[in-house]
Structure 1
Amino acid sequence: MPTPSAEAVLADSAGDAAFATTLAKGLVVLEAFEGAKLLGNMELSVRTGLPRPTVARLTHTLAELGYLTYDPRVAKYAVGARALRMLHPLLAGMPFRQLARPLMQDLAYSVRGTVSIGLLDGSSMVYVETARSGDVGPHTPDIGMPIPVVRTAMGRAAASMLPEAEAARLERQLEAADGAMWSGYRDLYRDGLRQCAERQFCTCFGDYMPAIHAIAAPLFRLRDRCFAINCGIPAFRLQQGQLEHEIGPRVRALAESIRVLVARPESAEPGSRGAKTQTR
């Protein structure tokens, strides 16, 4: 199911007596570090919409607990090592990563690009495994890095596995998260879903990063989590038609090999968008 941000949940939970508002605000502060290494209380206040005194109390508490660290030289905070501990239980529940990695690395070396697996999380895809060749250009994926669903092949491939009701809910969430982005990329996003329905992979010609062209295939659903696999290649290395006619079938075959390896066969009941990779 599409997962809203902590900030969105906080906004929707006013009046819920069972909702721990202070905890939610702390998570909103932690989420605000996405894409940033150092942030001060004023910057966090702007990013979260929380009052600066509230932010100051939350950052102090999070720093005392080890989830943030404070740098007095610049009077700013960074995410602390304790936050990294929270990643391990999630990744430990995805043992297919270790099985898939050698196959991913072979393809990455072969095409001189990156090959990654991502997990659908709200309006973002989050990398959970990645392999790369030496020089991959300006985009170097890493575990835990988020990328937008609507602008990426990986996001479109993952969304293609959603049943109709969940797919409609995700579209509403994408529009609410960033109306301008949704308006600008909606048609390309839906075309990606159509491509996955027809050939089990979709292309992305620089929609996220102009210098990188990508292709992605639906992988599988695991405990209602949607996973997709992509391959990103610097545009200058590709010949016309190579992405869709050569790399696409190879990524589709890689996805099938991984499903066989981890005993996740194709489902007889694909999502409404036609991907043949939904499993439960």
Structure 2
Amino acid sequence: MSENDNALFNQSLEKGLAVLRAFNAQRRTMNLAEVAEAAGINKSSAQRMIHTLEALGYVCKHSQTKRFQLTPRVMEIGYNYLAADTLVDVANPFLAELAQITGETTNLTEPDGLEMVYVARFVAPKFIPIHMPIGSRIPMYCTGSGRAYLSALGDDEVRAALEASELKRQTQFTLTGTDEILAEIATTRRKGYAINNEELFLGDMTIAAPILGSQGRPVASVHVVAPTSRWTQEDAERRLAPAVIECARAIRTSIRTL
């Protein structure tokens, strides 16, 4: 970062966002000391940030426990992103059609760092083992949508992403070796789609394809959930993969016409 960039950087805003991001499923409510520790700031800064966020309506204090928690107003920021995201508007009818064709839940994810973020979802009436609402985040290295996205990048970019990732074993089926993941990505490039068979969640299998932007760079992935209770990997690849690939191509074509 240059000196000019440093002069423009607003540390107070950074701290305020750090406080908002500190709340999650493991830290649903926090006292002031916990907020400071989770956000990586001192208690004085945490107090100022919490007071400001509370005044703006993004945080509230429970009347009995005196612990802080997020309010629904925080969702306005995420909703505004989805409302302004042209890709979501373009993809929705194709995702709906894919869900109708396959009879399974379809999803659109976009990259953020080393993760993929759910930005659109059409849920099938059939049982699915894992609920992933809009805004959920999944790692790239061990998911169908992540590997589909990575497959459309250059080799150096893929290796750099894997080296920067914490390759944890999520289930007994998770691939954690860089070389074996690279081999899966090479297979994805050859076939045009990626598959994740219970590497992130048991019972959860997905078929995914990358969506390329106007410059030929990947911008997102589309994937279908194929629960192992209903699908074998062979059947999922044979019956679902062609539809997923076609959906990704249709979205890409529509993006180019905008």
Asked whether the two chains share a fold, i.e. TM above 0.5, the reply is yes
Distance 1:184 1:115, change over 3 A: same
Distance 2:37 2:129 in 1: 28
Match of 2:11 among 4, 8, 21: 21
- Aligned to 1:237, the other structure's residue is in SS state coil
Question: In the alignment, does 2:230 pair up with 1:230?
Answer: no
Question: In the alignment, does 2:41 pair up with 1:50?
Answer: yes
Percent of aligned positions with the same letter in both sequences?
Answer: 24
Distance 1:72 1:162, change over 3 A: farther
Match of 1:216 among 208, 227, 232: 208
* 1:217 partner letter: A
Distance 1:123 1:75 in 2: 36
Tell me the CA shift for residue 205 of structure 1.
0.6
Question: In the alignment, does 2:164 pair up with 1:201?
Answer: no
Tell me the CA shift for residue 95 of structure 1.
2.7
Match of 2:95 among 99, 104, 108: 104
Residue correspondences, number: 250
- Tell whether the 8 Å contact from 1:112 to 1:233 is kept in structure 2 after alignment: no
Tell me the CA shift for residue 249 of structure 1.
1.9
* 1:200 partner letter: G
Tell me the CA shift for residue 158 of structure 1.
1.4
Distance 2:177 2:43 in 1: 35
Aligned to 2:29: 39
- Tell whether the 8 Å contact from 1:38 to 1:78 is kept in structure 2 after alignment: yes
- Aligned to 1:129, the other structure's residue is in SS state strand
* 1:144 partner letter: G
- Tell whether the 8 Å contact from 1:128 to 1:144 is kept in structure 2 after alignment: yes
Distance 2:186 2:47 in 1: 47
Tell me the CA shift for residue 32 of structure 1.
2.3
What residue ranges of structure 2 are gaps of 5+ in the alignment? none
- Equivalent residues in 2 for 1:1-280 (5 A)? 16-36=6-26, 38-41=28-31, 42-174=33-165, 178=166, 180=168, 184=176, 186-187=178-179, 189-221=181-213, 226-263=219-256
Distance 2:128 2:224 in 1: 13
Which shows bigger deviation, 165-174 or 253-262?
A: 165-174
Distance 1:187 1:136 in 2: 34
Which shows bigger deviation, 183-192 or 127-136?
A: 183-192
- Aligned to 2:176, the other structure's residue is in SS state helix
* 1:226 partner letter: V
- Aligned to 1:218, the other structure's residue is in SS state strand
- Tell whether the 8 Å contact from 1:151 to 1:185 is kept in structure 2 after alignment: no
* 2:255 partner letter: V
Q: TM-score with structure 1 length normalisation?
A: 0.75
Distance 2:228 2:43 in 1: 44
Tell me the CA shift for residue 197 of structure 1.
1.3
* 1:145-177 deviation digits (Å, cap 9, x = unpaired): 211222211111112223455434433432xxx
- Aligned to 2:17, the other structure's residue is in SS state helix
Q: TM-score with structure 2 length normalisation?
A: 0.81
- Tell whether the 8 Å contact from 2:214 to 2:255 is kept in structure 1 after alignment: no
* 1:10-55 deviation digits (Å, cap 9, x = unpaired): xxx9x94543222212212222234457220344444333344433
Distance 1:236 1:185, change over 3 A: farther
> Could you say what the CA RMSD is over the residues aligned between the two structures, in angstroms?
3.2
What residue ranges of structure 1 are gaps of 5+ in the alignment? 1-8, 266-280
